[in-house]
Copies of this chain bind each other. A is one copy, B any other.
Amino acid sequence: MSIDKRDHIIKKAVELIAEKGFEGTSIRDLAAKADVNVAMVNYYFGSKEKLFEALVEKRALFMSQFIENVITNKSLLPIEQLDRIIEGYIIRFLADPQYHRVLQQELLITQREQMHEKIIGLIAKNAFEIIQIIKKGIKSKVFNKVDPELVFASILGTISQVLMSRALCLKIMNKPRDYDPYSDKKFQKRLTNHIQQMVHSYLIK
């Protein structure tokens, strides 16, 4: 079995599902876009839903790995840990807005319960690490007495808000239609600075 072709189909599936949703994407749509026969999807993945699971699975570890690295780096101050995590979140999310949108779609609906729970698990795992850092910072009095869970919601929520709709992002930022904020390093830096500075002023000033 050609792994290349499997990955090719998954890649096209992310593009289509991000654009039209899972139920809005038909196997025939996908087959046409990936330039394969309709039967190939079921041949490779078993079913449309299993393709979807393979899709999510494939990139699931992508995020959690690096957070572990930050946590286990004992030489960093709590605020430095947060800064690294914010930066890493933004780099990774902005690198693949379509995948992020697919996950957000599944978070919004409860249609596929086990998929819903799986994605919640992925996010919660990171959330707890971040919340733990904030709680420790508060206990050791280097952080103000903030609401750790909602600080996490603000960090992830800000990024998600920006990623949610490119057209909305452009409209609010007053940018031309052909501008791509997600691949622009300057915008990436702008977003990183905003969240870091907001968190700094709230937690330590």
Contacts and interface: CB of A to CB of B under 8 A. Distances in A.
Interface of A: 18-24, 101, 104-105, 107-111, 116-117, 120, 123-124, 127-128, 131, 146-147, 149-154, 156-162, 164-165, 167-168, 171-173, 190-191, 193-195, 197-198, 201-202, 205
Nearest to A154: B158
A87 B150 CA distance: 16
Given A101-B109, A156-B161, A157-B158, 14 more contacts: A20-B111, A21-B108, A21-B111, A23-B23, A101-B108, A120-B167, A131-B172, A151-B198, A152-B172, A153-B158, A153-B162, A154-B157, A157-B159, A160-B161
A94 to B, nearest CB: 14
A24 to B, nearest CB: 4
Contacts of A20: 23, 109-111
Contacts of A171: 120, 124
Given A21-B23, A105-B108, A172 B191 contact: no
A121 to B, nearest CB: 8
A150 B147 CA distance: 21
B19 A110 contact: yes
Contact of A111 (B24, B107, B117): B24
Given A120-B171, A161-B156, A147 B21 contact: no
7 contacts: A18-B109, A19-B110, A128-B172, A153-B161, A157-B157, A198-B198, A202-B202
